[in-house]
Chain A
Amino acid sequence: MTRYLPPAAFGVFLLLAWEAAVRGAGVPAYIMPGPVAVLAALVNNAPDLLAGLAVTLEVTFAALALAVATGVLIAVALAASPVAERTFFPYAVFLQVTPIVTVAPFIIIWVSNIFAVLLILAWMAAVFPIISNTLLGLKSVDRNLKDLFRLYGASRAQTLWKLSLPSCLPYFLGGLRISGGLALIGTVVAEMVAGTSGTRSGLAGRLLEASYRLELATAFACFALLSASGLGIYALLQWLSRRLLRHWHESARDEQS
C-alpha cells in the first residue's frame, strides 16, 4: 500500500494546485478549466463520453488483436527462412517508420468503411513491436533444446508448439505491452485525421468537437478518459504478462520469494 501513497499524494497535490491557480488568477473556463469543472463536465456528459470511449476502445482492441494475430504469423514466417526475413523485414521496418498521419489520406480514399479505416491505421501503428519482438524470440531459442528436439525426431509443428512459441513468450509479451499503447495512440490519431463525427464517433473525435466549441472542460474530460484508458491497457497487459510468466521468467518473479 505504501508503494502507491507517494504518487497518489503527488497527484492530489497537483490537482489542488491546478484548481487554486485557475481560481486565484480568475482564468475563464473556455481558456483553462479547473479540475472541478472538468469533473462536472465528465459527470454531466457521462453517457455521451462513455459511448465515445466504447467506440475508441473497440477499435483499439480490435486493432491490437489483429496486430497480435498477423504479427505472430508474420514473425513465424520470417523466422522459418533467412531469405524470407531478408526479403520482407525491411518492409516491416517501413511500416514502423512511416508516420500514420501521412498514410491516412490514402486509406480514407481507398476504404469507405470508417471502422475499417481506423482499424487499418491503428493496426499499422501497433503491429511492428509484435513482429520484431516475436521474431527476436523465435531466433533466440536455446540451441541445446533445439538439438534435444531433433534427437527425439520432433516434427516442425511439434518444435514450433512445444519449443519455439513458449520460449518466445517473454519477448512477445514485451512487444505486446508496447503495442497496446501504440494501438490506442494509433486509434486516436486516426480518429482525429479521419475527422469522424456524430453519434458513432470515438472519444478523440469528441475531444476535437468540444475544443472547436470552446467547451474546454469537456475536452479535458475526453483527454482524461483517454489517458486513463492508456494506463488501464498498460496495467492489463502487465498483469497478463506477469500471470503468464510467473512460474518461470525472471521478469515476473517476486524478489523475496
Chain B
Amino acid sequence: MTLSAVSLRGVAKTFSSGTEALAPTDLDIADGSFVAIVGPSGCGKSTLLRMIAGLAEATAGEVQRGDGAVGFVFQSPTLMPWATARENCALPLALTGSGSDAGDALARVGLAGFEGAYPHELSGGMQMRVSIARAMVTRPRLLLMDEPFAALDELTRFKLNDDLLTLWKQNRWTVVFVTHSIREAVFLAERVVVLSPRPGRIVADIAVALPDRAPGARLSHAFTDQCARVSAALEGAA
C-alpha cells in the first residue's frame, strides 16, 4: 500500500445557512496519483477541494494531508490584474520565500516571452496557464484543480489536457482534478470518483485502465467504454 497524499475520514460539510453540501465521506488518494472528481453541479466538489486545501473547515470528520507544498488552481484564472504574468506567477515565492523560478514555470506552460504581459493582454487560455504555472512554482506535492478548463473551447482544452499530462508525468505530483466533463476525467485520471447530487456522496470509484493517453486515445473504443461506465454511475446516482 502506497502512502496517502490525502486521507479523508468521515468528512462532511454543512454550511451555517443549513445547506448540507457534503455527506460524510471517506477518501484516500495515493501519493503521485491523478484522481478526477465528477458530479452534478452543486454537489459539493468545490467544497471538498477547499477542505482538502484547508481553505474551508470540515464540520465533521478528519482531513489529513501529506507533507509538502499545495498548489490550487481555481475555476477562474484568479490573477492579480495589476501584476504581470511573471509577478503573478512569483506570488507564492514572495509569500512563502521558497520555490523555483517563475520564468521557468511560465516557460513550462508554453508562455516564454509573455513574462511582462498583464492579464488583460492574455487570452483566457493563456491566463489559465499562468494560473497553472503559479500553482506549480512552489513545486507542490499536491495539486488541486477546480474545473480549471471549464471556460475554454474544446480545442484549447484538449491542448491544455495534453500539457497537464506531460507535466504530471515529469513531476509525479499528486493531482486532484474536479471537472464536469466525463471525457476529460477519463482521459486525464487514473481514477474517477463519482459524487451523487447534493449532499455529495461517493457513488462510484472507477479505476481507469487506458494503455496510453496519447492525444488520439480520445477516439479509441477503450476510452468510450470507460466514459460509458462513468456516465452510467452518474446517471444511477441522479
A249 at interface, CB cutoff 8 A: yes
Do B95 and A253 touch (CB < 8 A)? Answer: no
Q: Which stretch in B72-80, B159-167, B229-237 binds the other chain?
A: B72-80
Q: How far is the CB of A189 from chain B (nearest CB, A)?
A: 37
Do A150 and B55 touch (CB < 8 A)? Answer: yes
The CA of A154 and the CA of B92, in the complex, are separated in Å by: 9
Q: How far is the CB of A140 from chain B (nearest CB, A)?
A: 13
A197 at interface, CB cutoff 8 A: no
Do B78 and A148 touch (CB < 8 A)? Answer: yes
Do A253 and B120 touch (CB < 8 A)? Answer: yes
Do B55 and A162 touch (CB < 8 A)? Answer: no
Do B96 and A153 touch (CB < 8 A)? Answer: yes
B119 at interface, CB cutoff 8 A: yes
B54 at interface, CB cutoff 8 A: yes
The total of Cβ contacts below 8 Å across the A-B interface reads 50
B168 at interface, CB cutoff 8 A: no
The CA of A158 and the CA of B97, in the complex, are separated in Å by: 12
A238 at interface, CB cutoff 8 A: no
Produce 1/0 per residue, A147-165, CB < 8 A to B: 1111111100010001100
The CA of A253 and the CA of B119, in the complex, are separated in Å by: 13
A145 at interface, CB cutoff 8 A: yes
**B109: chain A residues within 8 A (beta carbon):** none
**B82: chain A residues within 8 A (beta carbon):** 166-167, 169, 247-249
Do B92 and A147 touch (CB < 8 A)? Answer: no
B70 at interface, CB cutoff 8 A: yes
Q: How far is the CB of B74 from chain A (nearest CB, A)?
A: 5
Q: How far is the CB of A41 from chain B (nearest CB, A)?
A: 48
Do A153 and B95 touch (CB < 8 A)? Answer: yes
Do A158 and B50 touch (CB < 8 A)? Answer: no
Closest to B50 in A: A147
Closest to B121 in A: A247
A162/B94 contact (C-beta < 8 A), A147-B55, A248-B120 known: yes
The CA of A142 and the CA of B55, in the complex, are separated in Å by: 15
Q: Which one of B50, B70, B74 has the greatest number of beta carbons of chain A within 10 Å?
A: B74
A144 at interface, CB cutoff 8 A: yes
Produce 1/0 per residue, A225-257, CB < 8 A to B: 000000000000000000000011100010000
Do A149 and B120 touch (CB < 8 A)? Answer: no
Closest to A158 in B: B95
A154/B55 contact (C-beta < 8 A), A247-B82, A253-B120 known: no
The CA of A166 and the CA of B95, in the complex, are separated in Å by: 16
A152/B78 contact (C-beta < 8 A), A147-B55, A247-B118, A248-B118 known: no
B91 at interface, CB cutoff 8 A: yes
Do A248 and B81 touch (CB < 8 A)? Answer: yes
B53 at interface, CB cutoff 8 A: yes
**A152: chain B residues within 8 A (beta carbon):** 91-92, 95-96, 138
Q: Which one of B72, B78, B95, B138 has the greatest number of beta carbons of chain A within 10 Å?
A: B95
Partner of A249, one of B72, B81, B95: B81
Do B76 and A144 touch (CB < 8 A)? Answer: yes
**A142: chain B residues within 8 A (beta carbon):** 78
**A158: chain B residues within 8 A (beta carbon):** 95
Q: How far is the CB of B191 from chain A (nearest CB, A)?
A: 24
Do A154 and B80 touch (CB < 8 A)? Answer: no
Produce 1/0 per residue, B86-128, CB < 8 A to A: 0000011011100000000000000000000011100000000
The CA of A34 and the CA of B77, in the complex, are separated in Å by: 61
Do B53 and A151 touch (CB < 8 A)? Answer: yes
Partner of B78, one of A144, A169, A247: A144
**A163: chain B residues within 8 A (beta carbon):** 80
Point out residues on A near B: beta carbons under 8 Å.
Answer: 142, 144-145, 147-154, 158, 162-163, 166-167, 169, 247-249, 253
Point out residues on B near A: beta carbons under 8 Å.
Answer: 50, 53-55, 70, 72, 74, 76, 78, 80-83, 91-92, 94-96, 118-120, 138
Q: A153-B95, A248-B119 are in contact. List 11 more A-B contacts (CB 8 A).
A: A144-B74, A145-B78, A145-B80, A148-B72, A148-B91, A149-B95, A150-B55, A151-B53, A166-B83, A247-B82, A248-B120
A–B Cβ pairs within 8 angstroms, 11 of them: A144-B76, A148-B72, A149-B95, A151-B53, A153-B96, A162-B91, A162-B94, A162-B95, A166-B80, A248-B119, A249-B81
